[in-house]
Structure 1
Amino acid sequence: MLFDSSVRRELWRSFVGTLVVLLTVVLTMVLIRMLSQATKGAFAASDVSLMLGYTLIGQAPMLVSLALFVSVVAVLSRFWRESEMVVWQVSGARQFSFLRPLVQMGWPVLLSVALLVLVARPWAQSQTQLLKERYEKRSDIARVQPGQFQSSSNGSRVFFIDSHSDGERVGKNVFMVLTQNGQEAIITAQEGQLETVKGQRYLNLMRGERTQTDLKTGEKVLSRFDSARILVGEAEQSEDGRPAARSASTLDLLASPAPDMQGELVWRIGMVWAALNMMLVGLGLASGNARRSGNWSLVSALLVFVIYFNLLSMTQTWVTNQQLGTWTSLLGVHGLLTLLALARIWWRDGGLVTLIRGRS
């Protein structure tokens, strides 16, 4: 009991500390990226906090798995360096004896990874896609922030307005640059108002002027108008109704034979299996030397983590391209690593020597 509780306590301390550090670093990086995307018009600036939360939910499974892996390697390596492992071994504990406290500590973490991957992450992806689609379906005038230059959804128009009014359908002091078919038009107007006619969206401009330039010849044409109407959007296209693979529920993935759906299913199941494998690999790789200050076991363990999770993404690509089957990729990659991790633990327990002595 003392052995189990001591190991679990050390693992929990290391896991929580590592997870907090990882979340802080990733939160800062994601926030910078979200702010950059918001300024480019990928989504509304008011949705930055929501997008940040949904992105963190999507990144959480890998962060939790990495924190669990690092905590196992760091704690057990410290046991070796400080000769605490020798004390446990003299007391009768072997490498396989650490499996019980690892499983007791790790099963809530593995359960959280499974819930995040199978339930929370698809929901977060669907909410992210919903926010982006809702923002894209807004009018060009509504997308423009007063006092800022911003491109339209298709990139052919650049807008600038001083202010909004009438529910963001009317813009004051409108400036537009239109580029199409080798012609560039610079339009200024005191006011612009959107209207929809037969599924087409038009911008009615009031009291302005238009300077049109032929980009090939440089010829310019200047005209003034009291009112003008410009097509700014077409009728929305109908969708096939099938959700994207990343935002589809796990039950939909299980029921769908589509390659992209099966590839996403392999990634989700593989992520949960990878968290378990990383815990076993951490037990097998943990080592330390009291005479050496560097912690090379942690460096090599992180290298294994990077290679393994890149391989996880590659298996998704292989299944999506129909180069591998669903269960073939799962058993061939994750099942093989489970066996190798257990074999490594058995070998470090002196399994081969014990087997030879038993036969002799």
Structure 2
Amino acid sequence: MIVFRYLSREVLLTFSAVSAVLLVIIMSGRFIKYLAQAAQGILDPGVLLMIMGYRIPGFLQLILPLGLFLGILLAYGRLYLESEMTVLTATGMSEQRLLSYTLAPALLIAIVCAWLSFFLTPQGVQSVAQILNEQDALTEFDTLVPGRFQSLRDGSRVTYSQELSSGRDELRNVFISEKRDAGHSQVNTKDEGITVLVAKTGRQQIQEDGSRYLILQDGYRYDGTPGEADYRVVHYDTYGVLLPKPSVEVKVGDREGLSTAELIGHADPKMQSELQWRLSIPILVLIVTLIAVPLSKVNPRQGRFLKLLPAILLYMTYLALLVAARSALDKGRIPAGLGLWPVHAVFLLIGLLLVYWQPVRLKLAQRRANKEAQHA
């Protein structure tokens, strides 16, 4: 029991450290992407932390299997390097017994991954989809950042405000540049070209029908076409610019946002592949544990990182084949009954061969030696 607790602690500590590092790396890259969208005015900076929080379960369900795989390789590799495993082997610790000890914490992590895959990740995807739909309904006034040029998603208009009041209800030193397109421009002109609006102040006004206007005070309007000299300049005291009317409509059409209960029994191949993918996550944890334990055995003279690169390549091959099988199932190239299971079966066989090949080989060598001794 003491050996079991010691080995489990070593594996879980290394697993936690590796998973934390991987989570920070992945979240940093994703956060930079969302931060860039916020800088462009596509997202409200206030929802960034909420989006990242809802995305954590989806990150973790892919990080935890890899973290466990690397944790076993590094933890047991250190024990082999420091000859602790040699001592345990001398006291009767076989590789099969080591595997049984390792499967206990692996089973716990598999249960956590199943909880993430079946419940938390779909809920997080739904919440992120709702936030993004609400962000799509925001006007450029709602996402405006003072001192920064921001464009609409289609690039038809660029807005700039030097200052923005604390209540986000008044702009100062406003600049708006908009492309005019045959009467479809929001500045109500039928000519093609560019309209530039400058004003000292601006504020948002909401009408009874829900229409929103940006009311500009004391400014100029410039109409013209780049490369031509026939610009028209108009001074105004008050000018209204129609803002897109927000319409919040939450759509979660992505299968990743559907609950697991909705996927069960669904005839659509895409839904079947999503269900099998969710089932594959906890299965992946157990199979990579079966593979990692024999691969963690290293010669102290060779170093603990000798088998690390081949092991990672084997893991990435496993994951890549799962993704390829999922894509084939999506497109109907393989039947749903077959699905992702052949990939799991192949790597389960590889794990069993790694675990039992050396003991079987030793027994065969011993029998051969006994026969040769008898003949001699």
Q: TM-score, normalised by structure 1?
A: 0.86
Q: How far apart, in 1, do the equivalents of 2:222 and 2:269 lie? A: 51
Are the aligned partners of 2:8 and 2:105 in contact in 1 as well (CA < 8 Å)? yes
- Which residue pairs with 2:73 in the alignment? 73
- Which residue pairs with 2:321 in the alignment? 311
Are the aligned partners of 1:170 and 1:194 in contact in 2 as well (CA < 8 Å)? no
Determine if the alignment matches structure 1 residue 109 to structure 2 residue 103. no
| Alpha-carbon spacing, 1:123–1:137, altered in 2? closer, same or farther (3 Å) | same
Q: Deviations over 1:304-336 (max 9, x none)?
A: 222222333323322222222344222111222
Q: Any idea what SS the aligned residue of 1:329 has?
A: coil
Which of 270, 280, 285 is matched with 2:280 structurally? 270
Are the aligned partners of 2:74 and 2:304 in contact in 1 as well (CA < 8 Å)? no
- Which residue pairs with 2:236 in the alignment? 225
Are the aligned partners of 1:141 and 1:171 in contact in 2 as well (CA < 8 Å)? no
Q: Any idea what SS the aligned residue of 1:225 has?
A: strand
Determine if the alignment matches structure 1 residue 183 to structure 2 residue 183. no
What does residue range 1-360 of structure 1 map to in structure 2 within 5 Å? Answer: 1-163=1-163, 168=168, 171-181=171-181, 183-189=193-199, 190-195=201-206, 201-215=212-226, 217=228, 219-233=230-244, 236=247, 243-293=253-303, 295-350=305-360, 353-354=363-364, 357=367
List gaps (5 residues or longer) in structure 2. 182-191, 372-376
Q: How far apart, in 1, do the equivalents of 2:101 and 2:271 lie? A: 36
Single out whichever of 315-324 and 26-35 deviates more from structure 2.
Answer: 26-35
- Which residue pairs with 2:186 in the alignment? none
Q: Deviations over 1:114-140 (max 9, x none)?
A: 111221111222222222221221222
Q: Any idea what SS the aligned residue of 1:349 has?
A: helix
Q: How far apart, in 2, do the equivalents of 1:265 and 1:317 lie? A: 13
Shift of 1:54: 2.3
- State percent identity of aligned pairs: 23
Are the aligned partners of 1:18 and 1:71 in contact in 2 as well (CA < 8 Å)? yes
Are the aligned partners of 2:148 and 2:160 in contact in 1 as well (CA < 8 Å)? yes
Q: TM-score, normalised by structure 2?
A: 0.83
Q: Any idea what SS the aligned residue of 1:77 has?
A: helix
Q: Any idea what SS the aligned residue of 1:141 has?
A: coil
| Alpha-carbon spacing, 1:42–1:96, altered in 2? closer, same or farther (3 Å) | farther
Q: Any idea what SS the aligned residue of 1:112 has?
A: helix
Q: Deviations over 1:175-213 (max 9, x none)?
A: 211124352211113324344586765444443322123
Q: Any idea what SS the aligned residue of 2:310 has?
A: helix
Aligned-residue CA RMSD (Å): 3.1
Q: How far apart, in 2, do the equivalents of 1:188 and 1:167 lie? A: 22
Are the aligned partners of 1:284 and 1:348 in contact in 2 as well (CA < 8 Å)? no
List gaps (5 residues or longer) in structure 1. none
Q: Deviations over 1:127-180 (max 9, x none)?
A: 222222212212221121233321224332111224556974654443211124
Q: How far apart, in 2, do the equivalents of 1:321 and 1:215 lie? A: 48
Shift of 1:218: 6.3
Q: Any idea what SS the aligned residue of 2:142 has?
A: helix
Q: How far apart, in 2, do the equivalents of 1:166 and 1:96 lie? A: 66
| Alpha-carbon spacing, 1:314–1:198, altered in 2? closer, same or farther (3 Å) | farther
